[in-house]
Structure 1
Amino acid sequence: MQNGIYSYPGTKRVVYGIDMCEALDKEMTHRGAQRVFVLASATLARKTDVVDRLMTSLGSRCAGVFSDIGAHTPRTGVVAAANMAAAARADLLLAVGGGSVTDAAKMVAICLGNGITDPAELDALRVVTKPNGDTVRPSYKAPAIDSVIIPTTLSAGEFSAAAGCTDTRTMRKESYIHPAAIPGTVILDPAVTIHTPEWLWLSTGVRAIDHAVEDLCAINSMPFSDGTSRHALYLLAKGLRRVKADPSDLAARLDCQLGAWMSILGTSAGVSKGASHGIGHVLGGTAGVPHGYTSCVMLPHVLRFNYPVNAQRQGWISDALSRPGEAAAEAVGDLIAELGLPRTLREVGVKHDQLDLIAEHAMLDRLIHSNPRKIDGPVVVRSLLDAAW
């Protein structure tokens, strides 16, 4: 007989299929915020009218804009943004962009709540995992400010209490977790995603597939997220194919966004991820590989590695991808190939002489140690990297 406790995530509102400015105006009325600090991706700020439209919608309520967050959310950019938001006396954060900007919003809120004004001060707040899997999660003050997120990719970090942030001294991507860091409101407007480059949209869609797959296969899976993960896979596979065929298909883009939302409901409630995410964090922070690409390259190989311990659940993945009776690794790999995305480490710029360092760093990621099939050390990680090479 099953037993357990499911904790609902802290997201208060998800607004979907509505123009972002209309949704934002209603959100401002609902909240009464008067000093909104905007975090935006550099591309949106400099090459589109998205940020200008948001600033016009906010009017005098806009307290400032920061659009210099780099890939994988470097500490330096986070703290610079937090210092600006503090000086502006912001009472709400608004983030528009991809996963790095979403993580930045969570990190800025954490910095403001804990008086962080220098990047080195974040050392005291990071999650630390030892090579044997022992993990220390420091306790610290809650974020001092809430966030509204308008995502333009499908990584779904806007529904999570965890933020990834790269220490630029060591080039290691580290985790910061506080239950109150989940943004209060997420606005899913498919029209704003038209500006997202195709490779980024599709690859972060595979990242969302990775969320759903690793939640289904998790060592502490839950019946509620089993259901949302399976439907997420259906929506994402259908939606990504349709967007690939017709980038202007807003209904397909919304299907992708809804699938990404459903893909991470397990994670938000404490379901553990596995080696695809754990290695992916290191490929991002250490080797500069975009998040979506890490899943394209690693997920099929991790599925093959884990098959001996979760074959039945991998069958659910194949069913959701309309490939019943076939290996999940093949079903996922074929979808990635159909979308025209990379499938090897070489294709995403990883150097062969980086593999040992990546394997060593991976053992310091907490998710390696919650993989369904035990990973005993860097040698096992290196075998997965070699398979993906």
Structure 2
Amino acid sequence: MSFASPQAFGAIARIVHGTGTISTLPEEAKRLGATRILLVSDTGLERAGVLGPVQALLDAFDVEVFTDVEPDPSLETVARCAEVARTCHADLVIGLGGGSVIDVAKCAAAFVNNPGDVRDYLGIDQLKNPAVSKIMIPTTAGTGSEVTNVAVLSLKAEKTKKGIVSRHLLADCAILDPELTLGLPAAITAATGMDALTHAIEAYLSRFAQPLTDYFALQAITKLSSHLRTAVHHGANIHARHEVMTASLFGGLAFGSAATGMVHGLAMPLGGLFNIPHGIANAVLLPHVMRWNMPAAVARFADIAKAMGQPVDGLSPREAALLAITTVEELSADVGIPRWLDDLGIPRSAIDALVDDGLTNMRQILPNPRDVTREGLMDIMNKAFRP
């Protein structure tokens, strides 16, 4: 792939990463000059006993808590959270949770100073004013949202998902403590881990890839190939949890600048129309989209196979490229991800609607390594069903 066209690499200013680093939260809040904090989380983390200890770390501050965040959050949820942030005059928003919570927290911080309808800010660079300070603390290892400038929201009436992309969504600090993921169920660990793998693979295959994103993408692919199975099937293994969280971070740093492709472009309609969790939608679609994209990026597919630990010496470029796809399928099966859209209860009659929606996702069409056509997406979707 040529790097002749100049590319920009964007990243957040501060990442605090490692076991036990949640204890640094008060120090990070003070560093940002916080006095009034909105802590965004969800009821699941509250019931699981994760929210309470983190809130206790903030006893020295005036803290308001918002936990009304659903999976795949809606525009309306973001609007409610932003109103709470404005009402309590928050000068710091902390997101504690998975990708849904973090996306809501990032948006709430941005909308304190960007009034109006959330819908008006969908798309790229529509936020004109800076956000209040933000600290993001992931409790899953998959979305990478804590280090990206993207938030994905559900448009419930239209049954689809769209994104807000802006430098004003970048966090001022991310705290990544793998101890916060120790209680994750195996199924969520698998889905979020495969989401991270999708980020890394699509970033590496992106037309907007560059040396820095390539480094982070390949490192993420290697770490997930080596450690995701252990994190899923031996969840108390803190080393595996640390490596998977690091991979998620690296995947976020990669796709935050290189973008994603048509795995995401088709996964968003699956989530919007059928409420399929984002990580599951990505994981099921990943090998099918890879197989269709492979002829456009054979050498890069071979690199992915090598990063996943496969011996590619002596293989033809095409053989090595195909090995990347089968290795992804094996990893997905080993962590319990369904192989076919049928397994998710998706009817074949939905293919046209899914493809039509996918064709509106230009943020994923433009970076995709193969030119996207309606016929191509129909081919992907037809082959994603059980033969």
- Do these two structures clear the TM 0.5 threshold for a shared fold by scoring above it? yes
Following the alignment from structure 2 to structure 1, what is the Cα–Cα distance between the partners of residues 325 and 89?
Answer: 49
Q: After superposition, what is the alpha-carbon deviation per residue over 1:33-61, rounded to whole angstroms, capped at 9, x for unaligned?
A: 1111011022001x222111112111141
Following the alignment from structure 2 to structure 1, what is the Cα–Cα distance between the partners of residues 243 and 119?
Answer: 39
Residue from 330, 334, 337 that aligns with 1:334: 330
Please state how far the C-alpha of 1:5 moved relative to its aligned partner.
3.5
Residue from 265, 272, 277 that aligns with 1:290: 277
Residue from 343, 346, 350 that aligns with 1:350: 346
- Label 1:124 to 1:28 Cα distance change in 2 as closer, same or farther (>3 A): closer
Please state how far the C-alpha of 1:268 moved relative to its aligned partner.
2.1
Where in structure 2 are the equivalents of 1:1-389 lying within 5 Å? 2-45=3-46, 47-116=47-116, 121-127=117-123, 137=124, 139-153=126-140, 154-269=142-257, 271-325=258-312, 326=320, 327=322, 328-366=324-362, 367-377=364-374, 379-389=375-385
User: Normalized against structure 1, the TM-score is what?
Assistant: 0.91
8 Å contact from structure 1 (residues 124, 138) kept in 2: no
Following the alignment from structure 1 to structure 2, what is the Cα–Cα distance between the partners of residues 62 and 194?
Answer: 29
Please state how far the C-alpha of 1:347 moved relative to its aligned partner.
1.8
Output the amino acid matched with 1:360: D
Following the alignment from structure 2 to structure 1, what is the Cα–Cα distance between the partners of residues 275 and 334?
Answer: 24
Output the amino acid matched with 1:215: A
8 Å contact from structure 1 (residues 55, 62) kept in 2: no
Please state how far the C-alpha of 1:6 moved relative to its aligned partner.
4.5
8 Å contact from structure 2 (residues 3, 210) kept in 1: no
Following the alignment from structure 1 to structure 2, what is the Cα–Cα distance between the partners of residues 349 and 36?
Answer: 42
Following the alignment from structure 2 to structure 1, what is the Cα–Cα distance between the partners of residues 283 and 3?
Answer: 33
- The equivalent of 2:317 in structure 1 is none
Output the amino acid matched with 2:330: D
Please state how far the C-alpha of 1:348 moved relative to its aligned partner.
2.2
Please state how far the C-alpha of 1:382 moved relative to its aligned partner.
2.4
3-state SS in 1 of match to 2:113: helix
Please state how far the C-alpha of 1:355 moved relative to its aligned partner.
2.1
- The equivalent of 1:131 in structure 2 is none
User: Normalized against structure 2, the TM-score is what?
Assistant: 0.92
8 Å contact from structure 2 (residues 187, 232) kept in 1: no
3-state SS in 1 of match to 2:96: strand
8 Å contact from structure 1 (residues 307, 314) kept in 2: yes
Please state how far the C-alpha of 1:330 moved relative to its aligned partner.
0.6
Following the alignment from structure 2 to structure 1, what is the Cα–Cα distance between the partners of residues 11 and 164?
Answer: 16
Output the amino acid matched with 1:69: V
- The equivalent of 2:316 in structure 1 is none
Following the alignment from structure 1 to structure 2, what is the Cα–Cα distance between the partners of residues 314 and 99?
Answer: 28
Please state how far the C-alpha of 1:381 moved relative to its aligned partner.
1.6
Output the amino acid matched with 1:56: A
Q: After superposition, what is the alpha-carbon deviation per residue over 1:296-345, rounded to whole angstroms, capped at 9, x for unaligned?
A: 11111111111111010000100011123342111111110111111211
8 Å contact from structure 1 (residues 73, 104) kept in 2: yes
8 Å contact from structure 1 (residues 142, 181) kept in 2: no
Output the amino acid matched with 1:357: A
8 Å contact from structure 1 (residues 142, 178) kept in 2: no
Please state how far the C-alpha of 1:71 moved relative to its aligned partner.
1.4
Please state how far the C-alpha of 1:151 moved relative to its aligned partner.
0.5
Structure 2 unpaired stretches of 5+: 313-319
Please state how far the C-alpha of 1:125 moved relative to its aligned partner.
1.4
Output the amino acid matched with 2:28: E
Please state how far the C-alpha of 1:293 moved relative to its aligned partner.
0.7
8 Å contact from structure 2 (residues 225, 309) kept in 1: no
Following the alignment from structure 1 to structure 2, what is the Cα–Cα distance between the partners of residues 18 and 247?
Answer: 15
- The equivalent of 1:134 in structure 2 is none
8 Å contact from structure 2 (residues 200, 255) kept in 1: no
8 Å contact from structure 2 (residues 75, 119) kept in 1: no
Please state how far the C-alpha of 1:77 moved relative to its aligned partner.
1.0
Q: After superposition, what is the alpha-carbon deviation per residue over 1:237-294, rounded to whole angstroms, capped at 9, x for unaligned?
A: 112122133110111101011111111323222x132111111122122221111111
Cα RMSD between the aligned structures?
A: 1.7
Q: Aligned pair count?
A: 373
Output the amino acid matched with 1:278: G
8 Å contact from structure 2 (residues 11, 253) kept in 1: no
8 Å contact from structure 2 (residues 127, 168) kept in 1: no
8 Å contact from structure 1 (residues 300, 332) kept in 2: yes
Following the alignment from structure 1 to structure 2, what is the Cα–Cα distance between the partners of residues 321 and 18?
Answer: 25
Structure 1 unpaired stretches of 5+: 128-136
8 Å contact from structure 1 (residues 111, 143) kept in 2: no
- The equivalent of 1:133 in structure 2 is none
Q: After superposition, what is the alpha-carbon deviation per residue over 1:127-149, rounded to whole angstroms, capped at 9, x for unaligned?
A: 2xxxxxxxxx4533234312111
Following the alignment from structure 1 to structure 2, what is the Cα–Cα distance between the partners of residues 176 and 222?
Answer: 23
Output the amino acid matched with 1:300: P
- Label 1:180 to 1:199 Cα distance change in 2 as closer, same or farther (>3 A): same
- Label 1:320 to 1:58 Cα distance change in 2 as closer, same or farther (>3 A): same
